[in-house]
Amino acid sequence: MDTKRCLFCDQIVPIETKEGYDWYIGCYCSPVGRYGLRSDSYETYCTLPLASKRRLNPLFSAYIRELTDCGETVRLAAEDIDTLEHSSRIPATIDEKANRLLQYLHRRSSAAYEPVVIHPLAVSYNLTYSMNLQELIYIIEMLKEREMLERSGSTFKLTKTGWMEAVATAEGRRAKSCLILVPDNEERRNEWEERIIPSIAQCGYAARIHSGSLSPDSVPDDYRDIAESKLLIADLSEHAPEVYFAAGYALGLQIPVIWSIKRDESDVMRVRSELIRPIVWDKPEELAALLQQRLSV
């Protein structure tokens, strides 16, 4: 049988090729199963920037593990990259990630306090859609403090409280949709994706950057993302007209809008209005903290 390196967990495992898909068997993404990746998508994914793969690999690995563990068949292709990253199925907050661990232990046991072994733990942070082992350990300790699970090495037990929480959240809690409007600037977008959006997610929002261009001439479908959002964040840096326009459209739908702008551009705002009182920021980390403060009120 041929072998191949899994793109998402970096483990070399046996594969079977069938009907245009390579089926990866027993890697860390699916320790007791398999998943399919369309054969012509392998090289496409490999050409992604390293920063993108670092961000996406844990998400794909976790998605595959959760679905295959639930008995679902997973087939992936290159066009799923953007769709999956912004899917409502991806947990956005620490609490939602913690629920994934409770649900996994619930599927592996028949009652509270029944032991479940997670081995090897060091590569099992995909159980919680975590980016690394440190975040998984943080989640475990948090659940221990909440008296939802007990741990002894690699052995875990749901308490009665943890068991009931796992049952109650079995369908998952959908995070509130948050759409972000930023100038069409790759560097600026990367700042938001890597340093700001994770902080917004911790406040219970499934945040993503709008990928299209909005103007009075845009077709109705272009506005659907705004209409379906619970919050819109409009960054006025670079004074992009489409950001002003789309944010105004959101206000017309009575969708809350949070404005922001870089400090060195705040003195030359194109539109002056009592409705536009942006958060002024210098560094992405500063804006992330200010947004967390605003959203936590």
Query: Which range is least confidently modeled, 8-17, 87-96, 152-161, 199-208?
Result: 199-208
Range list of H helices, the chain: 42-46, 50-69, 80-85, 94-107, 133-145, 160-168, 186-191, 197-201, 224-227, 241-252, 284-295
| Top-confidence residue, 105 or 228 | 105
Is 60 exceeded by the pLDDT of residue 219? Answer: no
**8-state DSSP, 236:** -
Calpha distance 197→192 (Å, rounded) = 6
Q: Please, which residues have CB within 8 angstroms of residue 294's CB and are 6 or more apart in sequence? A: 258, 279
Q: How far does CA 64 lie from the centroid of its chain?
A: 14
Calpha distance 95→80 (Å, rounded) = 26
Is 60 exceeded by the pLDDT of residue 139? Answer: yes
Query: Which range is least confidently modeled, 19-28, 115-124, 189-198, 277-286?
Result: 189-198
Q: What predicted TM-score, i.e. pTM, was given to this entire model?
A: 0.57
Average pLDDT score over residue span 108-127: 93
Q: How far does CA 46 lie from the centroid of its chain?
A: 21
Calpha distance 259→264 (Å, rounded) = 15
- 139 contacts 124 by C-beta, under 8 angstroms: no
Amino acid 65 reads R
| Top-confidence residue, 181 or 185 | 181
What Cα–Cα distance (Å) separates residue 175 from each residue in 45, 158, 233, 293? 28, 24, 16, 18
Average pLDDT score over residue span 13-39: 95
Q: What is the pLDDT of residue 174?
A: 45
Both tokens assigned to 65: 């593990």
Calpha distance 201→197 (Å, rounded) = 6
Calpha distance 167→82 (Å, rounded) = 30
| Top-confidence residue, 263 or 269 | 263
Query: Which range is least confidently modeled, 49-58, 111-120, 153-162, 261-270?
Result: 261-270
- 44 contacts 65 by C-beta, under 8 angstroms: no
Strands 21-25, 75-76: parallel, antiparallel or unpaired by DSSP?
Answer: unpaired
Q: What is the pLDDT of residue 209?
A: 82
- 189 contacts 209 by C-beta, under 8 angstroms: yes
- 91 contacts 169 by C-beta, under 8 angstroms: no
- 269 contacts 261 by C-beta, under 8 angstroms: yes
- Rounded to the nearest integer, the mean pLDDT of the chain is 86
Average pLDDT score over residue span 144-152: 93
Q: Which of 211, 201, 210 is nearest to 291 (CA)?
A: 201
Q: Which of 218, 212, 220, 195 is nearest to 291 (CA)?
A: 195
Query: Which range is least confidently modeled, 94-98, 177-181, 211-215, 216-220?
Result: 216-220
Q: What is the pLDDT of residue 215?
A: 58
Calpha distance 216→223 (Å, rounded) = 10
Is 70 exceeded by the pLDDT of residue 212? Answer: no
Q: What is the pLDDT of residue 163?
A: 86
| Top-confidence residue, 239 or 66 | 66
**In the structure, what pLDDT confidence band is assigned to residue 61 with cuts at 50, 70 and 90?**
very high
Strands 176-181, 155-158: parallel, antiparallel or unpaired by DSSP?
Answer: unpaired
**In the structure, what pLDDT confidence band is assigned to residue 118 with cuts at 50, 70 and 90?**
very high
